[in-house]
Amino acid sequence: MNMLVLDRRRVLAGAGALVVSFSLGHAFAQDQAAPAPSPPGSLKTSPFLDSWIRIDADGSITVFTGKAELGQGFKTAFQQVAAEELDVAFASLKVVTADTALTANEGYTAGSHSMQDSGTAIQNAAAQARGLLVAEAARRFDLPADQLRTENGQVVAPDGRRAGYGELVAGDILHVQAQATSSLKDPATFKVMGQSFPRVDIPAKVTGGAAYVQDLRLPGMIHARVVRPPSYGAELVECDGADIEKLPGVVSVVRDSNFLAVVTEKEYQSVKAMQALSAVAKWKETTRLPDQDDLLKVITGLPSQDHVIFARNNASAVGQTTVEATYVRPYQSHGSIGPSCAVAQLDGDMMTVWTHTQGVYPDRQAIAEMLHMPPPKVRCIHVEGSGCYGHNGADDAAADAALIARAVPGRPVRVQWMREQEHAWEPFGPAMVTRLKASIDREGKIADWNFEVWSNTHSMRPGGAGCMLAAQHMAQPFKVPPPKPLPLPEGGGDRNAIPIYTFPNAHVVHHFIPEMPLRISAMRALGAYHNVFSIESFMDELAAAAGADPVELRLGHLDDPRGRDVIAKAAQEFGWRRDQKPTPGRGFGFAFARYKNLAAYCAIASEVEVNRETGRARLIRAVAAVDSGQVVNPDGLTNQIEGAIMQSMSWTLYESVSFDQRRITSIDWQTYPILRFSAVPDDIAVHIINRPGQPFLGSGETGQGPAAASIANAIANATGKRLRNLPLTRKRIKDAIDA
């Protein structure tokens, strides 16, 4: 057992809890005779029930998740899942999220995995915990377990005897490994799951409660700002900080080679000192960035490792009409509204970091490596930040805070990035190129399909210190680790590159590009955004070539019944008709995908208005249908899909990172414009197809690709012109109309 567990036992024993044996899966290597078959979700890696559910002697219940609430609302969903399977009131339990001292290691909160991994683990752990409580009550009542029922935190016998969960948890009865299967409740009896419970985090957010890491105020806390280099790889050749140290409130100027920061008593003092320090810092810039106006050539011109990821051959299918198209996606920014922030404190030999990272354990590993500390001496506690939509500056800010905190031991240090730092230094969503070629046979069926995608990796998340800016800039720098393609079936650049449709001949190639001209990493949906945009745009190009209705063409090539249901639902609710005619200046578009070909299904129909004079496109309305398996919180799911459509619309119509030969030049909201209210649609409708009892299917990212293609298809429908270079800006639309 490690120190953390011992500490926790002591603390909990002091607090009077009876069930105290908290388990971190990896801390109990000797206990882990892997059961076969393994239990579902994250119980596979953290199998002890009390890693997930703790019941104290007073009956209070705590649910632990290793996932981080990022504004998706799943803290509420987890609470519903646990309340349902434990048979307790929703309000009677609380959820503790990612913290290396408290929760299981569930890696990153990413890839729409939270409900699948953690939600499934909590559901099964709760069901099995309830089973153990019933068994214990059966023993005490001397009755068969099947005569007992649970109700509101109690086990009830037919003769009226009752025992509260708190009374039943004596000993370590929840400190057992999960069974492979659980006796889950019949969905028909659900009281909490499937209901739109209000989110537990919203009241604080709308009343000014402390809701974010930005709001953390620890005793004695001081403030820091970092002075970042002007461009990638720039070296600090001269910096006389003597005058800066005399400025009001300055505690310290921290320099470690190319890492430069100021620490002050009050926050605005650090902004001013940062500006002053920035003015005296002289940098040598050497980097040479590629030509942003020719990304097609840049991306396809880089050396690549080529993998055929899918091949199917059927010589009897022969195409007659061949269509080809190339689609390009620029670098795009996560664009969090709140720049990244972290608080760190070195107390003795223990470093604590409060961070909005998506992965407290990987972040701890990286920070420990950077500081040459043993990982157990670093604790990372997730505190919500501004929405991140992937790997933004969160981990870098955490590393900044830790490095600075080491220089001012004892005092908590709060670091917040400036707007231009977030925009210039966050790891962007990678630029991508796709090339498609397909043929249609005499019956209008797609006979062969060729798809090639060129992309960097889509994850440079820490794990190694070299993924973090502070560690790269130190005197003894950590090297950026070599990028790796993310493995299929989920994939990275090739996420959703394999078509979900059935074609007699199909060939899919992933050109993985190791060289990264710009700093990149994971952005919501990874490669699926561009791959689905490409596939679903191309399906419409093929429909046009075949004279087919786009929805019918999709249904004609799709076997998956749940996919067919979502397409039919979206089309029906939208009022899609084969002979439909939009009013002049408007167009209808349709698109569909199953995220990663294994998570939630989503189809989106849209109506877009295009001003032929200005080229301005506005989404008028969108209708989505989604199947994410068993629904836990319908309104939460709706909110996610609405958000995905709006955000993807913004990416698709407006967004590209700009740069010159040296520097990133999109450094604020003027130079990186995103959606504003004047372009907000009139209506977005989300229709959920619930699948009671089916596994949870991740949904947070399922809308990004279909929304992009649906809008692009509607623009093509409105203008008669096909746009293949993202973003579909006013100028590009206008140029296409005028061409």
Q: Which residues would be at the binding site for other proteins (CB under 8 A)?
A: 70-73, 198-199, 201-212, 214-215, 217, 223, 248, 266-268, 271, 335-339, 384-387, 389, 416, 418-419, 635-636, 639-640, 642-647, 649-650, 668-670, 674-678, 680-681, 683-684
SS3 of 612, please? Answer: coil
Count other C-beta atoms under 10 Å from residue 86's C-beta.
25
By C-alpha distance, which of 353, 358, 545, 550 is closest to 438? 545
**Amino acid code (one letter) for 256:** D
Q: What number of helices (H) and strands (E) belong to the chain?
A: 18, 24
Nearest approach in angstroms of CB 127 to other proteins is 28
- Rounded CA-CA distance 221/459 in Å is 33
By C-alpha distance, which of 329, 266, 265 is closest to 523? 329
- Contact 325/538 with Cβ under 8 angstroms? yes
Nearest approach in angstroms of CB 419 to other proteins is 4
Select 74 or 449, whichever has its Cβ closest to other proteins.
74
Select 132 or 216, whichever has its Cβ closest to other proteins.
216
Select 225 or 379, whichever has its Cβ closest to other proteins.
225
Select 199 or 411, whichever has its Cβ closest to other proteins.
199
Count other C-beta atoms under 10 Å from residue 257's C-beta.
12
CA distances (Å), origin 395, targets 57, 259, 362 = 38, 16, 10
- Rounded CA-CA distance 103/360 in Å is 10
Nearest approach in angstroms of CB 268 to other proteins is 4
Nearest approach in angstroms of CB 667 to other proteins is 10
Select 648 or 717, whichever has its Cβ closest to other proteins.
648
Phi, psi angles (nearest 5°) of residue 620: -90, -50
Nearest approach in angstroms of CB 74 to other proteins is 11
196: buried, middle or exposed (CB in 10 Å: 19+, 13-18, 0-12)?
middle
- At residue 509's C-alpha, the angle toward residues 713 and 589, to 5°, is 10
Whether the ω angle into residue 37 lies within 30 degrees of 0, i.e. cis, is: yes
Nearest approach in angstroms of CB 196 to other proteins is 8
Ordered alpha helix ranges (H), 331-445:
360-371, 394-407, 419-425
Nearest approach in angstroms of CB 677 to other proteins is 4
> What is the sign of the dihedral through the CA atoms of 162, 167, 171 and 177?
positive
**Amino acid code (one letter) for 595:** Y
- Rounded CA-CA distance 396/366 in Å is 10
Select 73 or 499, whichever has its Cβ closest to other proteins.
73
Select 129 or 645, whichever has its Cβ closest to other proteins.
645
- Rounded CA-CA distance 491/504 in Å is 23
Count other C-beta atoms under 10 Å from residue 558's C-beta.
17
Q: Which residues contact 280 (CB under 8 A, 6 or more apart)?
A: 239, 240, 241, 243, 244
- Rounded CA-CA distance 718/722 in Å is 10
Nearest approach in angstroms of CB 680 to other proteins is 4
Select 379 or 618, whichever has its Cβ closest to other proteins.
618
Nearest approach in angstroms of CB 76 to other proteins is 10
Nearest approach in angstroms of CB 460 to other proteins is 21
Whether the ω angle into residue 375 lies within 30 degrees of 0, i.e. cis, is: no
- Rounded CA-CA distance 413/264 in Å is 9
Whether the ω angle into residue 727 lies within 30 degrees of 0, i.e. cis, is: yes
Select 248 or 409, whichever has its Cβ closest to other proteins.
248
381 forms beta bridges with 99, 354
Select 180 or 674, whichever has its Cβ closest to other proteins.
674
Nearest approach in angstroms of CB 277 to other proteins is 17
Nearest approach in angstroms of CB 100 to other proteins is 23
Select 190 or 212, whichever has its Cβ closest to other proteins.
212
Select 51 or 640, whichever has its Cβ closest to other proteins.
640
Select 170 or 210, whichever has its Cβ closest to other proteins.
210
- Rounded CA-CA distance 419/426 in Å is 11
Count other C-beta atoms under 10 Å from residue 503's C-beta.
19
Select 203 or 374, whichever has its Cβ closest to other proteins.
203
> What is the sign of the dihedral through the CA atoms of 545, 546, 552 and 555?
negative
Select 379 or 382, whichever has its Cβ closest to other proteins.
382
Nearest approach in angstroms of CB 559 to other proteins is 32
Q: Which residues of 345-378 are buried (b: 16+ CB within 10 A; e: fewer)?
A: bbeeeebbbbbbbbbbbbbbbbbbbbbebebebb
Nearest approach in angstroms of CB 650 to other proteins is 8
Nearest approach in angstroms of CB 648 to other proteins is 8
Count other C-beta atoms under 10 Å from residue 548's C-beta.
19
